[in-house]
Structures are given as C-alpha cells and as structure tokens.
Chains A and B, each alone.
Chain A
Amino acid sequence: MGKPKILDLILRNLLSKPSTIEYPKKETVIEPDARGRHYADLNKCIGCSLCSIECPADAIKMTPIPPEYEAPKRNPRKLYPVINYLRCIYCYRCIAVCPTNAYVSTNEYRLATTETIYSDMLSLSTLPKKTG
C-alpha cells in the first residue's frame, strides 16, 4: 500500500463516527422474531404436557394451576407448563410441537438474575383470578 492510500485512510477514520453501540444507554436493534423469552398462554393451553416431553433440556415442568385462579374448562387435568429459564435453551421446540399454539414468544433477552426464574407468574397473569 502506498502512502497516499494511508493518508486517505487516516482522513476517513478521522471523519467517521465510532462504531461502538452505547449499550445500555442506547438499545441495539434486535430482530422482532429473534428467539427470546416465551411463556404459555393459559387460555389456550390444554395441559397435554407434550412440550414437557419434547423439551431437549427438560426445562418444562407440568404444575397444577393454583386454586385461586380459574382454570379454563378446556384444561381438564388443570396442569400448566412452567419453564425454568435458567435451563431453557430457547430452541422453541415447545412452540413448534404445541397442538393449540398456546405459547407466546417475545424477543426479550435481558434475563440476568441472581436466582432461578420461572415462567409461572407470566403464565398465570393471562388467567383471571377467582373473585371472592
């Protein structure tokens, strides 16, 4: 490379903006269909436990719906899937095999925690609470 080329390079580098993204002040652009946190919508779930069988990491556990929530009629066994987000590998196999497409997927990735986190509160928030 000759010298004029270097001068050109220096000028270009002086004028260009730094390439660093100012995370976390500025958000990075994430694809809307990137695989992030997902949870079950209990209005659609029928408690068939297929996702729990197919999960490669055994991260999904079928749990009884707590009595203070109204279990939908289509869920006769009153079970719902709870995902252990620490073990989950975000492969979305559960979403693909779900017979009722009950899973809600998001591109949320900021999951750093100090203790184990589960999907139970997110899932239960889709159900109405029993009154009285």
Chain B
Amino acid sequence: MAITKIIEIPYSLEIPVGPQHPALHEPLLLKVYADGEEVVKVEVYTGYNHRGIEKLAERNSFYRDIFIVGRVCGICNTVHANCYVRALEQILGIEPNNRAKYLRVLAMELERIHSHMLINAVMAEIIGFESLFMNIMLDRERIMKAKEILTGNRVLADYMMVGGVRRDINDEKKNKLLKLLNKTEERVKYYKQVFMEDDTILKRLVDVGIITKTDVLKYSLIGPPARASGVKIDARASDKYDAYDEVPFNVVVKKEGDSWARMILRWDEALESINMCKYILENLPSDGNPVPDEKRLPRRFPPGEAFTRVEAPRGELTYYVMSDGKPMPYRVKIRTPSFNNIINTANVYLGHSIADVPVILVSWDPCISCMERITVLDLTTGERKRMHLKELARGGRKWVSPRYSI
C-alpha cells in the first residue's frame, strides 16, 4: 500500500512480564508504535513490580533471605534459592553431600519441565489454539504433583538449605515420581509432534521474530532465545554446579533463530530434563543424610564475596552476595534472565505486523500468566480501546486493518 502520511498509533501492552524477573520489573509496559500494520518503534516501560528485594535482602539475616529470594519468582523459585544458597556455601566453605546435590538437580529439572510446558501452553493460547492450551495445562498438573511429592508444596518449594536440601525422599515416593514422569514423557513427545506438524502453529511461528547470532551476543541475550539462534550458552554445562557434572545431558542448540525454533527448543529441553530426572531417580547415591540440621548451621559468616550462575528455565541467572562479617549480607545483586531478554529486545519487533507482537513477546518466555491488556489509542479520532492480548493476536487485525488498508 502506498503510504502518504505516517500515522502513529501507540499500542501499549501492559504485560506482567517474566516471573523470571519479578524482582525488579514485572508488569511491564511495551509501547508499540505502528504504521498501519507494521511496527516501527517499541519502547519499554518498567517498574510496576519493583518490590525492592535487593534492599530488603540487606536488612534481613542470611538465612531469612533464602526464603525471600525464593519469592523473587514463583516459577523459578528453586533455581533462585539454589543460586543464593550456593553463594552462601562458597562464602562459608561448606559442600553438601552427593545425595543432596542429586536431589537439588531433581527439583530444578522438575521446575524446568513445568515452566517450559507452561510457556508453550500460553503460546498455544495466544495464537488461539485453546484446546491445546487446556491439554498442556492438564498434563502439567502431573509435574506439579511430582513437585508436591518431592518438596511439599506445588509451586514455592523452599527446598534449598545451606549444606543440603530440606526433605529426603524414600522408595515409595521415588516410584510415584517415576510413574508420573513416564506418563508425562509420552505426552511431551506428542505435543512436540503437534508443534512440529500443525499448520496453525507453523503459519504463526515460523520466520517470526528472527534474531541472529551476532545480535544475541551484542544484546546479551541468554537462555533458550540464545540457544535457538545457535549460541551455545548453558551454565549447567560450563559451571558444572551441583550434580550436573555427573548427570548426563545434551545442550540443545538450534540454528533457525525464530519464534518456532525457540518453542521447539523448549520441548526438546523438557524431554532432556525428563531423562535427567529419571536418571537421577534410578542412580540416587546414598552417602548420608541430605538434610542438614538447621539448628546447627553456622551463625557467623566470614567476610567475602561470591558470584554464582545458574541455568534457570529462562536463561542464565546470576547472584552476587557480599558479606562483611555482620549477620546481614552487605550487598545482594540479582540479575534475572528476563531482565536482559525483555528490555534488550525492543528492536526485534520492528518490521513485523501488530498481530505478531504477542507471539514474539511470548517466545522470549516472559511468563504471561495472567492479565494481559492492551490499550489501542487511535490518534486521529482520539478513540481508546482496551483489549486482551489474545484478542489482539486474533482479532486485533480486524479492528485495525479496515481503516488503514485503503
């Protein structure tokens, strides 16, 4: 179509982005400027979810912080707690026993499976494939049950403790977990096939939001978006923390770099994680009690600093903890993966149609668990319309195009 004048339509999506980075900014505001259907400019606004966790951590004791950092992100709580606990262990010079290390990995991998299933379900919902969303959510409940058996709570596990974990498992629980994992594996394979073959999904995802290898590194992108563009970054493989040096696994890397590759990569990783969980359950070492006595843990922390990395479901998560010998940490710095992945990717939307914006956004895995609402403001008439993100993906086109496609 011939453009005679450029009309700016500010689309502002308010999205609770990233359980991954709830610490600092979550419901996030993306302001999308569009020319007709084509996105020309994107601005990111933040601060709706800033809870001041870093300051809060400086005011609470080291042990109380273990539970506070778990509440940075509900979906990745065990990896947050694990990262912080390992930083404390580095400062103290404690090493947990092998059984505890294996159990930690088990909890983190279960979390990765349910997180990847959740974001794939949300993607199915965003592109209007509601029955697939319901099916994936139904099968995700099995993993939640497994988490409940292992840690005692469905979502927030509070499973990590300095020097080990907070609960042990017995043979009965082990068998229950294996049964649940076997059932889930079957279903995950099926869903992967659906994502590979279904026309609806292929048409909406393939070649949408392509990002190249150079851009990935320039913009400090991490996790599945980086691996889907052919960059092999995986803190599990490089740092070999906990039992990741003993449990066999492959780092999945894809070359395409589009939204579809990112979603398929998540299914591949979920399958990989299920295999790891099964390996752990079958080869669980029994070298002593993995549960430390919390009454006897050291109360005093020597001065020192530690920087730990962990591979969260959404990418590399880092913690920096500094102790100055007092009962409270001097500085705790949390850098969550969505922090990089969301704020730094504003340029990827350019050139795509408005209906693709939610698809690209979800493919970064910002965990859109709830309210997604969009204000569409038409500058020519001053008319304002609020719509659901899903509506925008499906019907938004209907609302916009008649006016500008002439």
CB pair B295 A31 closer than 8 Å? no
CB pair B294 A31 closer than 8 Å? no
Comparing A63-71, A88-96, A119-127, the segment that makes contact with chain B is A88-96
Judged by a CB distance under 8 angstroms, whether B138 is at the interface is yes
Question: For B65, B67, B166, which residue has the most chain A Cβ atoms within 10 angstroms?
Answer: B67
Judged by a CB distance under 8 angstroms, whether B220 is at the interface is no
Instruction: Give the contact-size bracket for chain A.
Output: 10 to 19
CB pair B60 A56 closer than 8 Å? yes
Comparing B147-155, B178-186, B314-322, B331-339, the segment that makes contact with chain A is B147-155
In the assembled complex, the Cα of A124 lies from the Cα of B269 at a distance in Å of 51
CB pair B67 A89 closer than 8 Å? yes
In the assembled complex, the Cα of A3 lies from the Cα of B67 at a distance in Å of 52
| B65 / chain A contacts, CB cutoff of 8 Å | 56
Judged by a CB distance under 8 angstroms, whether A34 is at the interface is yes
Judged by a CB distance under 8 angstroms, whether B241 is at the interface is no
In the assembled complex, the Cα of A31 lies from the Cα of B294 at a distance in Å of 23
CB pair B63 A54 closer than 8 Å? yes
CB pair A97 B138 closer than 8 Å? no
| A90 / chain B contacts, CB cutoff of 8 Å | 153
Judged by a CB distance under 8 angstroms, whether A114 is at the interface is no
In the assembled complex, the Cα of A17 lies from the Cα of B309 at a distance in Å of 45
In the assembled complex, the Cα of A102 lies from the Cα of B295 at a distance in Å of 14
Known: A91-B158, A96-B166. A31 touches B148 (CB 8 A): yes
Interface residues of B in 289-348 (CB under 8 A from A): 294-295
| B64 / chain A contacts, CB cutoff of 8 Å | 54-56, 93
In the assembled complex, the Cα of A97 lies from the Cα of B148 at a distance in Å of 22
CB pair A19 B152 closer than 8 Å? no
In the assembled complex, the Cα of A6 lies from the Cα of B295 at a distance in Å of 59
Question: For A91, A96, A97, which residue has the most chain B Cβ atoms within 10 angstroms?
Answer: A91
| A33 / chain B contacts, CB cutoff of 8 Å | 152, 167
Judged by a CB distance under 8 angstroms, whether B377 is at the interface is no
Judged by a CB distance under 8 angstroms, whether B31 is at the interface is no
Interface residues of A in 74-98 (CB under 8 A from B): 89-93, 96-97
Interface residues of B in 156-173 (CB under 8 A from A): 156, 158, 166-167
Instruction: Give the contact-size bracket for chain B.
Output: 20 to 34
Known: A31-B148, A31-B152, A89-B67. A97 touches B294 (CB 8 A): yes
| A31 / chain B contacts, CB cutoff of 8 Å | 148-149, 152
In the assembled complex, the Cα of A57 lies from the Cα of B63 at a distance in Å of 12
Judged by a CB distance under 8 angstroms, whether B287 is at the interface is no
Judged by a CB distance under 8 angstroms, whether A1 is at the interface is yes
Judged by a CB distance under 8 angstroms, whether B350 is at the interface is no
| A55 / chain B contacts, CB cutoff of 8 Å | 64
CB pair B67 A91 closer than 8 Å? yes
| A56 / chain B contacts, CB cutoff of 8 Å | 60, 64-68
Interface residues of B in 60-77 (CB under 8 A from A): 60-61, 63-68, 71
Judged by a CB distance under 8 angstroms, whether A35 is at the interface is yes
In the assembled complex, the Cα of A92 lies from the Cα of B138 at a distance in Å of 29
Tell me the nearest residue of chain A to B153, going by C-beta.
A35
| A72 / chain B contacts, CB cutoff of 8 Å | none
| B158 / chain A contacts, CB cutoff of 8 Å | 35, 91-93
| A92 / chain B contacts, CB cutoff of 8 Å | 152, 158, 166
In the assembled complex, the Cα of A92 lies from the Cα of B294 at a distance in Å of 11
In the assembled complex, the Cα of A30 lies from the Cα of B149 at a distance in Å of 9
Smallest Cβ distance from A34 to chain B, in angstroms? 6
Q: Which 8 A-B pairs have the closest CB atoms?
A: A56-B67, A96-B294, A56-B64, A91-B158, A35-B152, A91-B67, A35-B153, A31-B148
Partner-B contacts on A (CB < 8 A):
1, 19, 30-31, 33-35, 54-57, 89-93, 96-97, 99
What are 9 A-to-B residue pairs whose CB atoms are below 8 Å? Answer: A34-B153, A35-B153, A54-B63, A55-B64, A89-B71, A92-B152, A92-B166, A93-B64, A97-B294
